């Protein structure tokens, strides 16, 4: 099926009519089991918003803390939710009780000289990463560690933290694009690592112009030996995954290996590791999703799986409880459950329509007391949907938490078109 670039871009940037949802708040006396986090990405000041999670998986409003940085929306037409065209704008490390969030460039999208571009990348609040410590006894309590660290690029939009919690890498998507990595220091915050800044060489702008043609997501491989970044294509030219080897000292290989999706794949977006398979499931807003098999090296073979009726399937997460993946589509406001078998063949299990026009973007799955819960940011409706994942094909919505009222009461400014990110921290017993 031939898909036009204009149709795909319009689908991804769908700006649906703002809808409202009745607030459903977890019981105040319920025991805290953790927290979920997203960023406001406001241009006058970015904040991390913490939502408390109880033992039943339900949310109650927590608090917000400044990242000491700025937010920004990429250049798109029409303007809508998903301002960074990305997944992973904020991530936690349970290994070291830390959270890392991006702060996007605030420079004007005009042509910059080398000197002014450098100044823009290093001005306060611009193109930085902020690190916070998480209070494991009360995870909504965050404390900044060190100062925001320059990413050495423009328009940072995704960050990954390795399993050990020793290393964080950021993906920049603007005119100066690529990856940069940092040591996670419990006292000093994020410390730039030598020989870990690598370019993607994309022809982009600052702010990034998208969604098509932009960077999307950065992740570590399951064993931590590789760093992988996804880049959307500009139809009919497909996007790709870029893979760097990571040395024992954190150095990245000088060049990346390039993996493109099979015919029909166009816009690799989010990436979720397929456990035990040295493979990745990547959502693809042009078709449904792609499966990349890295078992034979850094250049992966791939297959595609269409999702009939999809408009912009862009975000994904994995449930250990069900063994399945859950993908969100901003255009149809649908959660699609996907199974990948032992031979890396993907199939659709079931679909779960959410509130029409809610703008379902970032999602995360947390395991609490042996049960899995999915948290979906409905940015356009300023809400978070909570789904219980008790068994394959049995996802059930248990809560819709409306953010606008509690945020306003707490003096927190949020804009549905600026909200981004979703990550979870579960309290250890």
Q: Which two tokens stand for residue 212?
A: 């098509």
Contacts of residue 386, defined as CB under 8 A and 6 or more positions apart, other chains included, come to 57, 58, 59, 373, 374, 375, 376, 397, 398, 399, 400, 401
Contacts of residue 23, defined as CB under 8 A and 6 or more positions apart, other chains included, come to 401, 402, 405, 406
* CA quadruple 131, 50, 170, 428: dihedral sign: positive
Check if the beta carbon of residue 381 is closer than 8 Å to that of residue 19.
yes
Contacts of residue 355, defined as CB under 8 A and 6 or more positions apart, other chains included, come to 19, 21, 333, 378, 381, 383, 385, 400
Q: Which two tokens stand for residue 309?
A: 């009726």
- Region for 264 from its dihedrals, namely left if φ exceeds 0, alpha if ψ lies in -120 to 50, beta otherwise: left
Q: Which two tokens stand for residue 369?
A: 């007391």
Per-residue pLDDT, 428? 87
Alpha-helical (H) ranges within 165-287 are none
Distance CA 227, CA 3 (A): 30
Distance CA 50, CA 217 (A): 22
Residue appearing with tokens 């009939």: 308
How many domains, the chain?
Answer: 1
* CA quadruple 305, 310, 314, 320: dihedral sign: negative
Distance CA 139, CA 234 (A): 40
Check if the beta carbon of residue 38 is closer than 8 Å to that of residue 419.
yes
Distance CA 331, CA 143 (A): 36
Closest CA to 135 of 35, 227, 229: 35
Per-residue pLDDT, 19? 30
Judge residue 408's burial from the number of C-beta atoms within 10 Å of its C-beta, 0-12 exposed, 13-18 middle, 19 or more buried.
Answer: exposed
Closest CA to 71 of 113, 39, 34, 24: 39
Per-residue pLDDT, 260? 98
Q: How far is CA 32 from the centre of its chain?
A: 24
Which residues constitute the domain of residue 271? 5-426
Distance CA 8, CA 13 (A): 9
Per-residue pLDDT, 290? 98
Closest CA to 345 of 274, 265, 266, 241: 274
CATH number of the CATH domain containing 420:
2.130.10.10
Of the chain, the percentage scoring pLDDT greater than 90 comes to: 86
Contacts of residue 377, defined as CB under 8 A and 6 or more positions apart, other chains included, come to 38, 360, 361, 362, 363, 384, 419, 420, 421, 422
Q: Which two tokens stand for residue 91?
A: 């991530």
Check if the beta carbon of residue 357 is closer than 8 Å to that of residue 381.
yes
Q: How far is CA 186 from the centre of its chain?
A: 24
Judged by DSSP in three states, 94 sits in coil
DSSP assignment string, 51-81: EEEETTS-EEEEEEEE-SS---PPB-SS--S
pLDDT tens for the chain, 429 residues long, are 334 444 454 545 443 332 333 333 334 456 889 999 999 999 999 999 999 999 999 999 989 999 999 999 999 999 999 999 999 999 999 999 999 999 996 543 333 344 444 444 444 447 999 999 999 999 999 999 999 999 999 999 999 999 999 999 999 999 999 999 999 999 999 999 999 999 999 999 999 999 999 999 999 999 999 999 999 999 999 999 999 999 999 999 999 999 999 999 999 999 999 999 999 999 999 999 999 999 999 999 999 999 999 999 999 999 999 999 999 999 999 999 999 999 999 999 999 999 999 999 999 999 999 999 999 999 999 999 999 999 999 999 999 999 999 999 999 999 999 999 999 999 987
């Amino acid at each position: 099926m031939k898909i036009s670039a204009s149709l795909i871009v319009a689908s991804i940037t769908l700006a649906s009519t703002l809808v409202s949802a009745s607030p459903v708040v977890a019981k105040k006396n319920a025991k805290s089991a953790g927290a979920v986090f997203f960023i406001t990405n406001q241009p006058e000041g970015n904040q991390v918003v913490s939502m408390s999670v109880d033992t039943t998986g339900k949310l109650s409003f927590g608090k917000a803390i400044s990242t000491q940085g700025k937010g920004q929306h990429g250049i798109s037409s029409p303007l809508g939710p998903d301002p960074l065209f990305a997944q992973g704008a904020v991530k936690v490390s349970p290994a070291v009780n830390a959270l890392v969030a991006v702060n996007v460039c605030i420079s004007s999208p005009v042509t910059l000289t080398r000197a002014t571009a450098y100044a823009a990348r290093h001005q306060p609040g611009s193109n930085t990463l902020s690190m916070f410590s998480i209070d494991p006894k009360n995870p909504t309590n965050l404390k900044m560690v060190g100062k925001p660290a320059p990413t050495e690029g423009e328009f940072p939009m995704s960050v990954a933290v390795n399993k050990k919690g020793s290393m964080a890498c950021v993906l920049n998507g603007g005119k100066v694009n690529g990856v940069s990595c940092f040591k996670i220091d419990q006292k000093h915050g994020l410390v730039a690592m030598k020989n870990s800044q690598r370019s993607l060489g994309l022809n982009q702008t600052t702010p990034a112009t998208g969604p098509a043609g932009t960077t999307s997501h950065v992740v570590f491989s399951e064993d931590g030996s590789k760093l992988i970044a996804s880049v959307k294509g500009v139809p009919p030219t497909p996007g790709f995954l870029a893979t760097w080897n990571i040395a024992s000292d954190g150095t990245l290989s000088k060049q990346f290996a390039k993996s493109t999706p099979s015919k029909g794949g166009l816009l690799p977006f989010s990436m979720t590791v397929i456990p035990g398979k040295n493979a990745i499931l990547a959502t693809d807003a042009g078709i449904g999703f792609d499966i990349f098999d890295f078992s034979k090296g850094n250049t992966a073979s791939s297959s595609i799986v269409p999702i009939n009726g999809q408009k912009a399937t862009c975000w994904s997460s994995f449930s250990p409880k069900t063994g399945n993946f859950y993908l969100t589509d901003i255009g149809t406001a649908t959660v699609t459950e996907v199974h990948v078998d032992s031979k890396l063949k993907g199939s659709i299990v079931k679909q779960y329509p959410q509130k029409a026009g809610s703008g379902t973007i970032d999602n995360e799955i947390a395991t609490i007391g042996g049960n899995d819960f999915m948290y979906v940011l409905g940015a356009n409706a300023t809400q978070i949907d909570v789904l219980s994942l008790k068994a394959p094909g049995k996802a059930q919505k248990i809560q819709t938490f409306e953010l606008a009222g509690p945020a306003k009461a707490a003096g927190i400014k949020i804009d549905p078109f600026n909200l981004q990110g979703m990550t979870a921290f579960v309290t250890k017993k």
